[in-house]
Amino acid sequence: MSNLNIKPGNVLLGAHISEKALVNADKSGVYAFRVLPSATKSSITASVKSVYGVTPVKVRVLTIPQEKVFVRGKRGVRAGGKKAYVYLKKGEKIEIM
C-alpha cells in the first residue's frame, strides 16, 4: 500500500493527552500523538519535523483496536485508531498546549 498521497502536515491528528502521556513527556521526552490509520513511521517523522521543527530520534506506532461498550442500556463500539510515540533528544521539547 503506497502512502505517496499523504502530505506530512496531514498525518498528525492531534496530541494524545492523558496522565501517562504527560508524565512521559516531562520525564523522558516522549510525546504521544493520534495519527491517521494509514500513517507510517517515516511520514510521522516528516510531519513532526515540519510542524514542530524538531527531529525525532525514534518513532513507535501502536494500533488501538475497537472496543465494544455498554452505556445506559445500549450497546455500541468505541472507535479505535492509531497512536504514535515520538522520542526526542534530551533537551528538546514540544509545546503542545
Grid coordinates given for 11: 498525518
Residue whose C-alpha cell is 534530551 = 90
Residues 49, 96, 10, 62, CA torsion sign: positive
pLDDT-derived band at 1, boundaries 50, 70, 90: very low
C-alpha 54/C-alpha 87 separation (Å) is 10
> What does the pLDDT look like over 64-79, one tens digit per residue?
999 999 999 999 999 9
Q: Does residue 7 carry a pLDDT above 70?
A: no
Q: Which domains does the chain have, with CATH numbers?
A: 8-87 (3.30.70.330)
> What does the pLDDT look like over 21-76, one tens digit per residue?
999 989 999 999 999 999 999 999 999 999 999 999 999 999 999 999 999 999 99
